[in-house]
């Protein structure tokens, strides 16, 4: 039976404003009672009495039953969300870093206090991938979940490959449109995609994996030489998080730029759009497509969670309950990948331990090698892969 929800919302930025815009257009049994914001001096489009700076205005208000967390600071967000759940309030969050870093604790809190935390808006904007992994694929054997999870990086790459813009100009456009932050490191460094991948792995494979244990290579090291290499071979670069089952019980997770050809469905995913590709044993291949950045797409996913709470919906984490090996036994980094590596230092090739070399090129200002390398070696040497003189891309 549907019930009325009384909301307290933390944050009134791009997503908060987008959510409120959507709520205004819907006839839902929802009342927005209060906002808590960080900067009270900013001009707002709503009455000033709705806005507060003290979190307890929401967390200690007995009339507010649902907390919406839409702030940037992951640790502050964790304090807000965990306290709200302990206070008997259900929570909707879009903070992928906070959720990825604290999901195991948050699940335990929900189970102890009988509350619900939903976070569809934290992963791939408007695409309902978490709910599908929870419900549609709950008894399915998943071979892999991969795709384009970060709209900001995809927008930049689209402008580079479709309009010949430089990385710097494309990034500035993404920032001007609100797709990328002033400090874009989380997006272009592949960290945002890694947090989302960690959450996806939890619902796809029943894993709680510390994001620090997952390799992430972003697009911030991409140079004209790499772009020219891809274009000469009629390929594009996409930032692709991958969760893949490699045998009966082990799963690999990594985020890397990937060279894709026109036969790959991700080739046509452009601008701020996301695309999630699910390969399953029985359902075969399925593809989810939608906007992955912007206030309204993410706001729509947040509203979907709010609407689900009217009927007491909660994630059941079924795959956590049914798996038998430990997370450490399931999660593996022992897997060989074929990569393109641009480099300057010859010693790096020895450190990375290429198992096979398929192609090698060297000129005065550009050297690359294409070969097979173990994921563990990439992870162990990830700090060496983030300099100006080196870049690695997965090659199919």
Strands 251-260 and 273-280: unpaired
Contact 298, 11 (CB under 8 A): no
- Average pLDDT, consecutive stretches of 10 residues, N- to C-terminus, the chain (396 residues): 88 86 82 90 84 95 96 95 98 97 97 97 91 89 96 96 96 89 91 97 95 97 96 97 93 98 96 96 92 81 92 92 80 97 94 95 94 97 91 96
pLDDT reported for residue 113: 97
Distance CA 104, CA 207 (A): 9
For residue 318, indicate whether it is catalytic.
no
Q: Nearest 5°: CA angle at 301, between 220 and 268?
A: 50
Distance CA 327, CA 205 (A): 10
pLDDT reported for residue 1: 63
pLDDT reported for residue 46: 84
pLDDT reported for residue 101: 98
Q: Which residues contact 91 (CB under 8 A, 6 or more apart)?
A: 66, 67, 68, 69, 81, 84, 85, 115, 116, 117, 118
Whole-prediction pTM: 0.94
Sign of the dihedral through C-alpha 370, 376, 379, 382: negative
Q: Which residues contact 381 (CB under 8 A, 6 or more apart)?
A: 348, 351, 352
Exactly one of 196, 245, 291, 319 is catalytic; which is it? Answer: 196
The helix/strand/coil state of 283 is coil
Q: Which residue has the tokens 């026109």?
A: 262
Q: Nearest 5°: CA angle at 69, between 277 and 115?
A: 85
Q: Quick one: how far is CA 56 from the chain centroid?
A: 29
Q: What is the side-by-side strand order in the sheet with 66-69? A: 51-52, 30-36, 5-10, 66-69, 90-93, 117-118
Q: Which residue has the tokens 């992963």?
A: 123
Q: Which domains does the chain have, with CATH numbers?
A: 5-130+296-322 (3.40.50.720), 333-396 (3.30.70)
């Amino acid at each position: 039976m549907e019930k009325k929800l009384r909301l307290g919302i933390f944050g009134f930025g791009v997503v908060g404003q987008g959510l409120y815009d959507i709520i205004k257009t819907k006839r839902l049994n929802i009342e927005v009672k209060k906002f808590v914001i960080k900067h009270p001096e900013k001009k707002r489009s709503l009455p000033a009495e709705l806005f507060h700076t003290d979190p307890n205005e929401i967390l200690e208000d007995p009339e507010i039953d649902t907390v919406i967390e839409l702030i940037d600071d992951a640790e502050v967000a964790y304090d807000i969300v965990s306290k709200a759940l302990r206070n008997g309030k259900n929570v909707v969050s879009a903070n992928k870093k906070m959720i990825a870093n604290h999901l195991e604790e948050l699940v335990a809190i929900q189970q102890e206090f009988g509350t619900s935390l939903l976070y569809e808006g934290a992963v791939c904007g408007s695409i309902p991938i978490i709910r599908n992994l929870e419900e549609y694929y709950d008894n399915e054997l998943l071979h892999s979940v991969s795709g384009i999870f970060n709209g900001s990086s995809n927008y930049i790459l689209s402008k580079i490959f479709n309009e010949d813009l430089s990385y710097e100009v494309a990034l500035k456009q993404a920032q001007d449109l609100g797709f990328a932050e002033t400090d874009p490191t989380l997006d272009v460094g592949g960290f945002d995609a890694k947090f989302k991948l960690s959450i996806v792995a939890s619902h796809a494979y029943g894993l709680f994996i510390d994001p620090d244990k997952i390799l992430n290579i972003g697009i911030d090291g991409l140079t004209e030489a790499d772009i020219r290499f891809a274009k000469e071979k009629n390929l594009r670069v996409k930032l692709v998080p991958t969760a893949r089952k490699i045998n009966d019980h082990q799963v690999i997770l990594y985020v890397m730029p990937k060279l894709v050809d026109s036969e790959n469905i991700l080739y046509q995913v452009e601008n701020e759009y996301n695309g999630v590709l699910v390969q399953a044993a029985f359902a075969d291949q399925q593809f989810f497509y939608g906007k992955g950045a912007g206030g309204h797409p993410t706001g729509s996913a947040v509203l979907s969670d709010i609407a689900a709470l009217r009927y007491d919906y909660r994630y059941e984490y079924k795959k956590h309950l049914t798996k038998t090996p430990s997370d450490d036994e399931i999660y593996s980094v022992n897997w060989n990948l074929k990569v393109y590596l641009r480099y300057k230092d010859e010693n790096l090739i020895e450190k990375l331990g290429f198992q096979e070399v398929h192609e090698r090129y060297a000129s005065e200002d550009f050297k690359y090698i294409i070969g097979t390398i173990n994921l563990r070696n990439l992870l162990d040497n990830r700090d060496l892969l983030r300099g100006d003189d080196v870049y690695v891309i997965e090659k199919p």
